[in-house]
Amino acid sequence: MTKRRDFLFLAGIVLVIFWSSAHTTWGQNAAGDMQEQQGSEMTDQTQPMNGETAGREGEALQNGEQGNVSGGKTTSNLLPVEVNDRWGYISKEGRMVIPAQYEDAERFSEGMAPVRSDDRWGFINEQGKMVISPRFDQAGRFNDGLARVKVDGKWGYVDQQGQLAIRPQYDWAGDFKDGNARVKTGGIFSAKWTFIDKQGNYLQATPGEQQRDTGAAEERGGRTARRTNYDEAGDFSEGMAPVKVGGITGKWGFIDKQGNLVINPRYESVGEFSNGLAAVEVDGRWGYIDKKGSSVIKPQFGQAGKFSDEGLARVKTGGWIGGRFGYIDKQGAYVVSPQFNDAGDFTQGLARVKVDDDWGYIDKAGKFVIDPEFSDATDFVNGVARVRTGGVFGGKWHYINREGEIITLNREQEPRPAE
């Protein structure tokens, strides 16, 4: 079984590389958000970790007690872990708070978490009470008061009372951000993306505003409304969303929350707006634009991330092989010189960086706060990050706090890619 999974894992990497080379994406950060959403569709992509020995309620899971760690964003102090093939929740101190009893579980968001029971997904509150009964094929976390759910092959949205707010009708649906969600209809080769509000209304451009595609007619309430479709789309951030038109060789631009095209499609790839700037790719090099579409930092980097609340963005100099990552400020000046093999964005004052084969965490001055000693690592969210000790195959996943202290001890699973 291990050899077969190793083969499937390597084959997956090859397919991802091929797909990435054949198709443009909407930037380093936006693509990462999309991957996270697709990973939280509650299939086997949730990174389960096989455990052997259960922890006891109210006691810390000690060294030798096997478990598994789930990723994702959260504002709760409860963290999902797997023990004895069942999922429960621990505190940030490693104490079991909600006993391991579910077939699968995701992180809390807006006071609720999706869990799977009897092969159906429902939602629990932070006291472990099932508040929305398990009746969905798949489910995502709550954002802006709504959670996406899948029923009979189609995605829709439920509210926090468990009522269907938007009926299942989409082939794929994203989380709500800034009051809108991107949804997809059509198959792999005929997919079209558009945006909806929390009432399920399609985003429509102001009459007379220039649009680069024809849209599609929708019947609603006895009248015909017109929605704008895109070949690809990213989430709204700071009131703007990246959209792609022109097919597989098309270009990226940005729309506002009224659906108006405010930055014309002229970029090969883009990232989301963050702190007033967005990364854009021109002729294979990355730079940054403002919300008027004006160039602020000229395209010069091999890769570029979003500007964090710390006012820094990760960028890569050099080629695909041998390039190095560093961090720049909003004037394009290096604050942390290019020196890392790989790097993540700053979150909560720390950024994960890779030195040779190991990951650690630095502060805004580029000083290591947590030494590079992990074979993989994720960004900090709500004071907690996931790290892997050991090799790619057979390594062990843990939660750590900002001091680098391991919260979950000796978590182990057959290897799967980090989210």
pLDDT score of 205: 63
CB 329 within 8 A of CB 346: no
pLDDT score of 223: 33
What tokens were used for 351? Answer: 């950024």
pLDDT score of 277: 99
One-letter amino acid of 312: L
pLDDT score of 16: 41
- C-alpha triplet 332, 334, 338: angle, nearest 5°: 125
pLDDT score of 75: 62
CB 225 within 8 A of CB 202: yes
CB 66 within 8 A of CB 412: yes
First vs last C-alpha separation in the chain: 22
**Each residue's pLDDT expressed in tens, for the chain with a length of 419 residues:** 444 444 444 455 444 443 433 333 344 333 333 333 333 333 322 222 222 222 223 333 333 333 455 554 556 889 998 888 889 998 988 888 999 999 999 999 999 999 999 999 999 999 999 999 999 999 999 999 999 999 999 999 999 999 999 999 999 999 999 999 999 999 878 889 999 999 999 987 655 444 433 344 343 333 333 458 999 999 999 999 999 999 889 999 999 998 999 999 999 999 999 999 999 999 999 999 999 999 999 999 999 999 999 999 999 998 888 899 999 999 999 999 999 999 999 999 999 999 999 999 999 999 999 999 999 999 999 999 999 988 877 778 889 999 999 887 544 422 222 34
Find where tokens 């994960």 sit: 352
Distances, alpha carbon 385 to alpha carbons 40, 46, 72, 206, 379, in Å:
17, 16, 10, 43, 6
pLDDT score of 216: 43
